[in-house]
A and B are shown apart, each in its own frame.
Chain A
Amino acid sequence: MHSVPSVRTYVLIWLTLTIMTFVTFYVAQIDLGGWNVVVALCIAFFKMMLVILFFMNVKSDSPLTKLFAGAGFFWMILLLGQVAIDYISRNWMPMGKMW
């Protein structure tokens, strides 16, 4: 069977996630210009990876399951990337910034 992670590991991951929630909440109150959105999304990505790897146990899953979990990222990159390329290249349509 798969190895069973210790309670300590889970509690440490939970602690990190909670601290990151506080960090993202307080950083959002400080004006960093365009960096606000970058910081917020990077923290969200980091939190997501912790949940996927440890809480969802993908770290110790079979390679095939890892491949399927990775396919989700691939699909999102295709979707957001291709659509962004379409809209950015519409010269007649001024696009603002994300922030």
Chain B
Amino acid sequence: MEQQFDSSTLGMWVFLLTEIMFFGGMFCAYMIYRSMYPGAFASTSLHMEPFWGATNTAVLIVSSLSMALAVRAARLGQQKMLQLMLVVTIFFGLCFLGVKAIEYHQHWVDYKVPISVPGLGSHWDYSNTDKFPNQAQYAKQAQILFCFYFFMTGFHAVHMIVGVGLMLTILVMARKGTFSPSYFTPVEVSGLYWHFVDIVWIWLFPLLYLIGRTKSLI
């Protein structure tokens, strides 16, 4: 059993390595474009709301704690505790997605979505406003950077939705009494996935929300 557990964990890490390649490509492209257009990127950072970003970081960290405690409870055979911690994890995962939805809606209302929808027209406007007087000079580059924002946070959100689905499955399995101190591998490997998605956000938060905020480029 010990060897089976170790090989399952190892297999999950191999999958996580492919996920690192997936997100790594986006982080790499982000690095290049950020160094090409530092002014435009500092300008787009000002349109993000760091309070929501920090809130979501805290929410994900709490969910990671409850996930770690769920794995611990499964390992010790504490069935009630395991189910409770899984419910807490699912709850905070949904909180994260809710906050993300509020932010996306705000960008949509602010005309900061660089797409054109048939029938609705373009939802992109980067002309000067009272709050942001000199941003029009970045109108073109800012489209690239908002595109990065939506793709990186969007793929992260998709991973969160998959994670919530995974946790629901584990919860159903836990209620059926599948897990015991000698068999809790599914809880463990799902936990690894959940923590990985948390780590991706730990990087996205400073890169998209924080860096460049103090620059008086606008």
Among B157-204, those with CB < 8 Å from A are 181, 191-192, 195-196, 198-199, 202-203
- Count of chain A to chain B residue pairs whose CB atoms are closer than 8 Å in the complex: 147
Q: Which residue of B lies closest to A86 (CB)?
A: B32
Interface size on A, residues (CB 8 A): 54
| Contact yes or no, A21 B35, CB < 8 A | no
Contact for A75 among B24, B212, B215, CB less than 8 A: B24
| Contact yes or no, A76 B36, CB < 8 A | no
Contact for A41 among B21, B192, B206, CB less than 8 A: B206
Question: Footprint of B on A, CB under 8 Å?
Answer: 1-2, 4-5, 7, 10-11, 13-14, 17-18, 21-22, 24-25, 28-32, 36-37, 40-41, 43-44, 47-48, 51-52, 54-57, 61-62, 64-65, 68-69, 71-72, 75-76, 79-80, 83-84, 87, 95-99
Question: Footprint of A on B, CB under 8 Å?
Answer: 2, 6, 9-10, 13-14, 16-17, 20-21, 24-25, 27-28, 31-32, 34-39, 42, 50, 54, 57-58, 61-62, 64-65, 67-69, 71-72, 75-76, 181, 191-192, 195-196, 198-199, 202-203, 205-207, 209-215
